[in-house]
Amino acid sequence: MSNLPPRSLGVGSGGLLLGHEAATSRGAGSPRPGSLMRTRRIKLQIFRGVVFLIMGLFFLVPIGAMFEFSTRGDTMTSPRTLEAWTAIIKVPELTDAISVSLQLAAITSIAMLVLLLPTMVWVRLRIPQLNRILEFICLLPLTVPAIALVVGMVPLYRWIGVNLSDSILTLSFAYLILVLPYTYRTLDAGLAAIDLKTLTEAARSLGAGWGTVMLRVVVPNMSSAILNACLLAVALVLGEFTMANLLNFENLQVAILYIGLVSASTSIAVAVASLVFAFVLLMILSYVGRPKDRVARAEEIPGSLVPSMTGVSVLAELVDQPK
């Protein structure tokens, strides 16, 4: 091991650097010790590429087929047309449904954060013995099928419709329950990654009230987890069909179904568009959540002890790798 070049010593510190390093060493073109290690790296690279390709095909083939279908003309011989796509903005029911689904996604995400984050922080700090119970309650919706949930909610929504409001935005109550298990897990991981007790106590001793502690200390230190939780909530709400349909509301997925009865290609175009939207959102959030700024600045300082990658940047690197 002692005669290995220094670069080879970094194997344990970040597997994702390996591909980059392997490429550099191949570029040098001279035979060097540690060829076994290099072979392993190449094998790993190939394995990674194959997995990525298979997964990519798994997702892209159906989406590509949907796109192909949505651009077909009226007959098999007709030329390609984007009519179905332009119809998205021309059909008022659809634009309304898109707008409503986006509003629902926003309301659900914000309500989830306002309700869940302070509760989780409070339970962790003040009544940690309730942590298990909170976890159980939050994960419970995962075990109840949506259809059973809706059956239970029908009388409730009948009452809400008569006494409060019959707006579709009241669906966010139900969606809040639906997104709880996923967002709880994400936020829980984010909280576990910081020394919550010490940080909040330090802020309190400096004169911060609980609001300041949350907004200026807790939230900035788990921004990745919060963004991921929001992403999950948005994705779930945009893709939700059962509840909206059975409670007689028309959200995006319900609208897609109805439009599909009239124009199959438009409904497919909307489905592709919503998938692409979710993908773009995922990419944006993973880059926004990436603490690139801080890491970059750390690397400018000579002798800095900062590890070159964090969890999020490693994920991003994984996505970048096969390019």
Using CB under 8 A as the criterion, which residues of the chain lie in contact with another protein when the complex forms?
194-195, 198-199, 201-209, 212, 216-217, 220-221, 294, 297-298, 301, 304-306
In terms of Cα–Cα distance, which of 170, 154, 135, 323 is closest to 247? 154
The label of the residue with tokens 């603490």 reads 291
Q: Shortest approach of another protein to residue 224 CB, angstroms?
A: 11
Nearer to another protein, 199 or 282 (CB): 199
The label of the residue with tokens 């080879």 reads 8
The label of the residue with tokens 């959030």 reads 285
How far apart (Å, rounded) are the C-alpha atoms in residues 133 and 209? 27
Nearer to another protein, 22 or 196 (CB): 196
Nearer to another protein, 113 or 298 (CB): 298
Give the other-Cβ count within 10 Å of 22's Cβ: 19
Q: Shortest approach of another protein to residue 201 CB, angstroms?
A: 6
Q: Shortest approach of another protein to residue 288 CB, angstroms?
A: 14
Instruction: Region of 207 please: left (phi>0), alpha (psi -120 to 50) or beta.
Output: left
Q: What is the dihedral of CA 106, 108, 111, 112, to 10 degrees?
A: -120
Nearer to another protein, 31 or 302 (CB): 302
Residue type, 23: A
Q: Shortest approach of another protein to residue 151 CB, angstroms?
A: 43
> Which distant-in-sequence residues (6+ apart) come within 8 Å of 134 by Cβ?
119, 120, 123, 184
Nearer to another protein, 5 or 307 (CB): 307
Residue 63, classed as helix, strand or coil, is: helix
Q: Shortest approach of another protein to residue 207 CB, angstroms?
A: 4
Q: Shortest approach of another protein to residue 85 CB, angstroms?
A: 42
> Which distant-in-sequence residues (6+ apart) come within 8 Å of 63 by Cβ?
272, 275
The label of the residue with tokens 């909307």 reads 270
Q: Shortest approach of another protein to residue 194 CB, angstroms?
A: 7
Nearer to another protein, 196 or 256 (CB): 196
Nearer to another protein, 208 or 285 (CB): 208
Residue type, 175: Y
